[in-house]
Amino acid sequence: AQSVTQLDSQVPVFEEAPVELRCNYSSSVSVYLFWYVQYPNQGLQLLLKYLSGSTLVKGINGFEAEFNKSQTSFHLRKPSVHISDTAEYFCAVGGDTGRRALTFGSGTRLQVQP
Amino acid sequence: NAGVTQTPKFRVLKTGQSMTLLCAQDMNHEYMYWYRQDPGMGLRLIHYSVGEGTTAKGEVPDGYNVSRLKKQNFLLGLESAAPSQTSVYFCATSPTGAYEQYFGPGTRLTVT
């Protein structure tokens, strides 16, 4: 069984400040980890993914995430946010080789203020 | 190249009515999924398909049926809609050999 916990439901931050969105997971199989972004009234867009290899993963729009196996975490970071980063962010875990479905966290709403 | 499209974008149903949501993809992906998104609950898997002619239940399948008669289409049916099915529904696809999924724009369904 797999599960994902996103510890913060909302994160307010000022423009140009750094941000970290936290994600912890549990899984009984090898994991593949993802961050998705959802802008208002849109579908989910893949930000970045960890499948194997380097634990620091870079994605689109200047985001990066670090896979920490010992802490079972995959936190998302950006050194300087823009107003346009205001959106909901979802962490997801995969690894069930049968159906290849993802298990999603409940989401973190990032609110960037001027 | 449209990617993943969903029809309709919005729908309002009365309790007991039926409807079908259509997901279409032009990416030739084998795997297709239907999720529902509710506030504070992330996305939950309703049904999925690992290839043409196959379907299987996800986490929350009750009240829904699906069919995948053609590789590019995945239909989600509600036989007798209930207010608890008010939600935003997302279709996603995934290619063989990959885990990442590609999402459609969603269908917002309200059941009164």
Cα(B38)–Cα(A91) distance, integer angstroms: 16
Q: What pLDDT is attached to residue B40?
A: 83
Closest chain B CA to residue A5: B42
**Can you tell me the distance from the alpha carbon of A24 to that of B103, in angstroms, rounded to the nearest whole number?**
23
Per-residue pLDDT reduced to its tens digit, A51-72: 888 889 999 999 999 999 999 9
In this predicted structure, the answer to whether residue A15 has a pLDDT above a threshold of 70 is: yes
Helix (H, G, I), strand (E, B) or coil at A88: strand
Distance CA B75, CA B65 (A): 8
Check B90 against A34: CB less than 8 A apart: no
Q: Does the pLDDT value for residue A101 go beyond 90?
A: no
The percentage of residues in chain A with a pLDDT greater than 70, rounded to a whole number, is 96
Q: What whole-number distance in Å separates Cα of residue B52 and Cα of residue B75?
A: 12
- B chain contacts of residue A4, beta-carbon cutoff 8 Å: 42
10-residue block means of pLDDT along chain B (112 residues)?
91 97 96 93 92 94 96 96 96 89 95 96
Whether the pLDDT of residue A10 is over 90: the answer is yes
CB B94 within 8 A of CB B45: no
Does A107 sit within 8 Å of B102, measured CB to CB?
A: no
Predicted pLDDT at B70: 95
Mark yes or no for CB contact A43/B4 under 8 Å.
yes
Work out the minimum CA distance from B110 to partner chain A, whole angstroms: 15
Pairing relationship of beta strands A64-68 and B56-57 according to DSSP bridges: unpaired
> Cβ contact (<8 Å) for B48 and A101?
yes
Instruction: pLDDT band for A9, please (50, 70, 90 cuts).
Output: very high
Q: According to the model, what pLDDT value does residue B98 have?
A: 82
